[in-house]
């Protein structure tokens, strides 16, 4: 019996052990199945979320790029339109002066011809009787027909009295010095009174060669010229299209008829080379890809910044209105119609923005192009920046995904272990929030960044849901911040670039050689520490013998200092020009200081050095208002001028200023500067210093202004090296009597 009971007990134990193994196998299988299924669901959801976020990021990049690009195009179009209209008006004003001069001369000649008895006999050089004629000299020319027929007594008397008109013609010609111009009084009877003006030194011959003189005497008859015939036919002031002049230069003529007692007597013609207009057009080229040009009423390019190609000047070239490129042809039609606009065109396969405006005096149109890629370059830079930021975000997101995947794997491993000891209900309870998480993640992956995962389990699943919620919020905030930052940066950059161009335009242009006359040599340079600065230099003539120079430094940098600088420059120049007397210089500075102090709400101040040089004697009267003392270079040595007791400008009104006197000898020079020169620092933060500046100028004493200024720039650049510029740098060198002074 005992043996039977033992056997039955063993069989029962075996049966219970088999059921336990089956249960363990079933629970393990369920746990492993749950683990695998959950892992696959999580991986699918994470992959979908990642792809959705990447797609959303690319959409954001496109939106940012489009927004910034539209802003850049809008600003560029407005700026281009304004610049082109201003330049067209500027050229129009210059041409209007020529037209007005022709009408004035015609009215005066009419008055003289109708009152010849009031004038005595005059005498002019006959170009057939002299071997040469100098530029700016009035002379008499007979047409080949009149020279062959001879001059009768009545005609000789008329010519003798008409010669008095040279007294008006020669002064008028002086206003065209520096430009290739011919002023002609062409009589219907075959004689002409002429004054030819050539650029360059006075006194040069008007004939390029002896052969040219012979050809002119044998062939030239003003009555056969298009400008004469057009003015005679229309009976009013006319202008010609651009034509090739006798000397081989492109020219433009303004002509007006004049009259005597019998009616039409002849034509006044001002025939001017358009070299200076061509130079102006070249200077207006905008940006790296800019092209500027003038289109006449026939659709042909007459002036251009290009030397060759489709938009190069060509009087016999094709009509742009018939160009095979539709956008360019349509723009040319609108230009010849007198319209003003900004459009996109294709030129030689490249896309440009073309701005154009009419020139009413001659019926032309002025146009300026800038490459589309150059306009959109700032937008492309912002897009690249957004792309880099989004790339960093993707990298961070992948790291977060990997971190979360590790935690999920750990959690699921624990769940698989717990499956041995828990029931299906517990498994369902655990899987329920995971399913909710997966569904929420899927919705976020579909683009709903406002989705909030509401899971409250008190374990890692809730933490994961919170991470997703925080991640979506951060993503929204990052997108908004990136958009705002890109727009703000682009706006600030554009405004600073415009401010820098405006400030550069306020500085005086280099003096032409004709203005120097050998009395002096002047060179100036300014380099702001930021995009715009508070330094200034200025120079201008009060009359033909008085030259004024100014160097000043505002007590700040950047845009506020630049605005204050403009106000100080304007007040100083206005007060000096108002008096036009070097003896009243101290009073002019005091008046400028009172006006500056009265409107100084920002509590800035200006140090300034202003002087007036009497060119015939070398007497230099100056006022130093708290500025760095200039150096005078004389006999191989540079010496600082004594420090002046005058106050700075703009601090307080009612202050008095003392002018000082200096006599310059031929070969002497003055060097004016701001403290950005002497206080420039190298990488070790050592100052350039006044002694080093004095040594450089002593070595260059006796040389021209440009050589002195360039020497200081080279030594200063070598001293500073790679160190950043801490202050605005301005220099002005004035050398007295350097060019064959008589």
**Which pLDDT tens digit goes with each residue over 358-387?**
988 778 888 888 888 777 666 666 666 767
Q: What is the pLDDT of residue 18?
A: 46
Six-digit token pair at 319?
Answer: 């009509």
- Mean pLDDT of the residues in the chain: 79
Residue 36 within a domain: yes
Q: What local confidence, expressed as pLDDT, does residue 429 receive?
A: 62
What lies within 8 Å, CB to CB, of 601 at 6+ separation is: none
Number of domains present in the structure of the chain: 4
What's the confidence (pLDDT) of residue 425? 55
Which tokens belong to 255? Answer: 């002509």
The predicted pLDDT at position 274 comes to: 72
Q: Which of 9-13, 542-546, 563-567, 651-655 has the lowest mean pLDDT?
A: 9-13
Q: 553 is in which domain, residue-wise?
A: 509-736
Last residue of a domain, one of 307, 338, 373: 373
CA distance 364 to 297: 6
Could you tell me if 691 and 621 lie in one domain? yes
| Residues 360/89, Cβ–Cβ less than 8 Å | no
CB 611, CB 549: distance < 8 Å: yes
Q: Is the residue at 88 inside a domain?
A: no
| Predicted local confidence at residue 259, as pLDDT | 94
Tens of pLDDT, residue by residue over 241-286, are 777 666 666 778 889 999 998 899 999 998 877 766 766 666 666 6
Domain boundary (373, 396, 413) is at: 373
Q: Does 58 share its domain with 135? A: no
Decide: 472 and 449 in contact? Cβ < 8 Å: yes
Scan for tokens 């989705």, then name that residue. Answer: 451
Same domain, 216 and 287: no
Q: Looking at residue 21, what is its pLDDT?
A: 57
The token duo for 33 is: 């199945």
In this structure, how many other beta carbons lie within 10 angstroms of the beta carbon of residue 718? 9
Q: What is the DSSP string of 346-368?
A: EETTEEEEEEEEEETTTTEEEEE
340 and 195 within one domain: no
Q: Which residues contact 342 (CB under 8 A, 6 or more apart)?
A: 77, 80, 81, 353, 354, 355, 356
Residue showing tokens 């409250």 = 456
Q: Is residue 503 over pLDDT 70?
A: no
28 close to 419: Cβ distance less than 8 angstroms = yes
Quick one: average pLDDT of 29-44? 70
Mean pLDDT of 704-733: 89
Q: Is 739 a residue whose pLDDT tops 50? A: no
Same domain, 401 and 529: no
Residue 554 CB-half CA count within 13 A: 27
In this prediction, residue 282 carries a pLDDT of: 65
pLDDT band at 692 (very low <50, low <70, confident <90, very high): very high
The answer on pLDDT for 232 being more than 50 is: yes
CA quadruple 670, 674, 676, 679: dihedral positive or negative? positive
**pLDDT per residue over 64-85, tens digit each?**
666 666 676 677 778 778 878 8
Q: Count Cα atoms within 13 angstroms, Cβ side, for 569.
A: 23
Verify that 50 and 161 share a domain, yes or no.
no
One domain for residues 267 and 288: no
138 and 17 in one domain? Answer: no
User: How is residue 491 written in tokens?
Assistant: 């706006």
pLDDT of residue 16: 46
What is the separation, in whole angstroms, between the first and last Cα of the chain?
154
**Taking residues 225-238, what's their average pLDDT?**
90
Domain contains 336: yes
Q: Are strands 243-244 and 250-260 parallel, antiparallel or unpaired?
A: antiparallel
The pLDDT of residue 91 is 79
More confident residue, 415 or 229: 229
For residues 294 and 366, membership in a common domain is answered with: yes
Rounded Cα–Cα distance for residues 644 and 627 (Å): 8
22 pLDDT more than 60: no
CATH number at residue 603: 3.60.40.10
Is residue 711 domain-shared with residue 673, that is, in the same domain?
Answer: yes
Tokens linked to 324: 């095979």
Choosing from 324, 349, 373, the residue where a domain stops is 373
Asked if the model's pLDDT at residue 663 lies above 70, the reply is: yes
Most confident among 7-21, 276-290, 405-419 (mean pLDDT): 405-419
Residue 255 near residue 231, CB atoms below 8 Å:
yes
Q: Highest-confidence range of 345-354, 398-407, 609-618, by mean pLDDT?
A: 609-618
Residue among 543, 527, 598, 531 nearest 567 (CA)? 598
Strand pairing partners for 524?
732
Q: What is the CA radius of gyration of the chain?
A: 42
Look-up: residue for tokens 């029962």?
A: 12
- For residues 598-608, give the mean pLDDT: 83
Q: For residue 484, what pLDDT is reported? A: 63
Q: Is residue 83 part of a domain?
A: no
Q: Are residues 167 and 189 in the same domain?
A: yes
* Contact between 610 and 586 (Cβ < 8 Å): no
Residue 354 maps to which CATH number? 3.30.450.20
- Position 305 pLDDT exceeds 80: no
In this predicted structure, the answer to whether residue 238 has a pLDDT above a threshold of 60 is yes
pTM, 2 dp: 0.42
Taking each helix axis from N to C end, the angle separating 2-113 and 275-283, rounded to the nearest 10 degrees, works out to 160
Q: How far is CA 592 from CA 180, 225, 434, 626, 654, in A?
A: 41, 55, 79, 15, 11
Q: Is residue 221 part of a domain?
A: yes
Confidence of residue 742 (pLDDT cuts 50, 70, 90): very low
Lowest average pLDDT, out of 3-17, 102-116, 563-577, 646-660, goes to: 3-17
Model pLDDT, residue 367: 87
Asked which of 310-324, 376-390, 536-550 is least confident by mean pLDDT, the reply is 376-390
**What pLDDT sits at residue 17?**
44
In this predicted structure, what is the pLDDT of residue 478? 67
Answer left, alpha or beta for residue 625, where phi above 0 means left and psi between -120 and 50 means alpha: beta
Residue 247 counted as domain residue? yes
What was the pLDDT predicted at 266?
A: 95
Whether 85 maps to a domain, the answer reads no
206 inside domain? yes
Q: Are residue 598 and residue 716 in the same domain, yes or no? A: yes
pLDDT at 476 over 70: no
């Amino acid at each position: 019996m005992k043996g039977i009971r033992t056997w039955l007990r063993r069989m029962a134990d075996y049966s219970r052990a088999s059921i336990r193994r089956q249960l363990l196998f079933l629970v393990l299988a369920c746990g492993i199945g749950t683990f695998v299924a959950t892992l696959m669901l999580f991986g699918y959801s994470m992959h979908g979320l990642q792809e959705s976020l990447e797609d959303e990021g690319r959409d954001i990049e496109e939106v940012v790029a489009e927004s910034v690009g539209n802003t850049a195009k809008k600003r560029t179009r407005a700026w281009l339109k304004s610049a082109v209209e201003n330049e067209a008006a500027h050229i129009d004003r210059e041409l209007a002066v020529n037209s007005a001069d022709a009408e004035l001369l015609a009215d005066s000649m009419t008055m003289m011809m109708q009152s010849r008895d009031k004038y005595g006999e005059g005498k002019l050089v006959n170009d057939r009787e002299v071997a040469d004629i100098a530029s700016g000299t009035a002379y008499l020319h007979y047409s080949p027909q009149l020279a062959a027929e001879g001059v009768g007594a009545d005609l000789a008397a008329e010519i003798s009295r008409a010669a008095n008109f040279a007294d008006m013609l020669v002064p008028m010609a002086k206003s065209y010095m520096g430009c290739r111009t011919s002023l002609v009084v062409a009589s219907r009877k075959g004689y002409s009174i002429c004054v030819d003006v050539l650029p360059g030194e006075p006194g040069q011959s008007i004939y390029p060669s002896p052969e040219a003189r012979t050809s002119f005497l044998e062939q030239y008859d003003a009555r056969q010229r298009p400008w004469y015939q057009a003015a005679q036919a229309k009976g009013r002031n006319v202008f010609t299209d651009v034509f090739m002049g006798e000397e081989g230069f492109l020219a433009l003529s303004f002509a007006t008829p004049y009259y005597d007692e019998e009616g039409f007597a002849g034509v006044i013609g001002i025939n001017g080379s358009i070299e200076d207009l061509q130079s102006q057009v070249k200077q207006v080229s905008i940006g790296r890809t800019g092209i500027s040009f003038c289109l006449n009423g026939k659709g042909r390019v007459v002036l251009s910044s290009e030397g060759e190609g489709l938009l190069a000047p060509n009087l016999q070239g094709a009509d742009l209105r018939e160009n095979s490129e539709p956008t360019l042809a349509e723009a040319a039609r609108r230009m010849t119609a007198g319209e003003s606009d900004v459009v996109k065109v294709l030129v030689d396969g490249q896309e440009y923005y073309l701005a154009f405006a009419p020139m009413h005096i001659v019926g032309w149109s002025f146009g300026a192009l800038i490459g589309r890629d150059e306009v959109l370059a700032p937008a492309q830079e912002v897009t690249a920046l957004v792309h880099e930021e989004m790339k960093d975000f993707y990298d961070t997101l992948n790291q977060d995904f990997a971190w979360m995947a590790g935690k999920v794997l750990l959690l699921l491993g624990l769940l698989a272990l717990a499956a041995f000891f828990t029931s299906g209900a517990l498994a369902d309870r655990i899987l329920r929030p995971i399913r909710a998480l997966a569904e929420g993640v899927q919705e976020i992956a579909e683009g709903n960044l406002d989705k909030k995962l509401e899971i409250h389990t008190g374990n890692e699943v809730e933490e994961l849901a919170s991470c997703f919620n925080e991640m979506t919020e951060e993503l929204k905030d990052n997108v908004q911040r990136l958009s705002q930052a890109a727009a703000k940066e682009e706006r600030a950059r554009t405004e600073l670039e415009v401010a820098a161009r405006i400030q550069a335009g306020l500085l005086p242009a280099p003096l032409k050689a004709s203005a120097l006359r050998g009395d002096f040599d002047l060179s100036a340079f300014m380099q702001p520490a930021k995009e715009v600065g508070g330094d200034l230099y200025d120079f201008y003539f009060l009359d033909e013998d008085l030259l004024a120079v100014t160097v000043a430094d505002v007590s700040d940098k950047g845009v506020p200092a630049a605005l204050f600088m403009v106000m100080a420059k304007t007040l100083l120049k206005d007060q000096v020009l108002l008096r036009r007397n070097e003896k009243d210089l101290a009073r002019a500075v005091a008046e400028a200081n009172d006006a500056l102090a009265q409107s100084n709400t920002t509590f800035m101040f200006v140090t300034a050095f202003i002087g007036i040089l009497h060119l015939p004697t070398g007497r230099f009267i100056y006022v130093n208002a708290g500025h760095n003392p200039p150096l005078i270079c004389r006999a191989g040595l540079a010496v600082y001028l004594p420090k002046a007791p005058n106050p700075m400008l703009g601090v307080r009104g009612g202050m008095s200023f003392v002018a000082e006197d200096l006599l310059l000898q031929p070969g002497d020079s003055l060097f004016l500067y701001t403290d950005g020169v002497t206080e420039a620092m190298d990488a070790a933060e050592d100052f350039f210093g006044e002694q080093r500046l004095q040594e450089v100028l002593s070595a260059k004493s006796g040389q021209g202004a440009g050589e002195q200024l360039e020497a200081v720039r080279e030594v200063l650049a070598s001293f500073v090296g790679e160190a950043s510029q801490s202050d605005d740098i301005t220099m002005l060198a004035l050398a007295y009597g350097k060019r064959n002074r008589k």
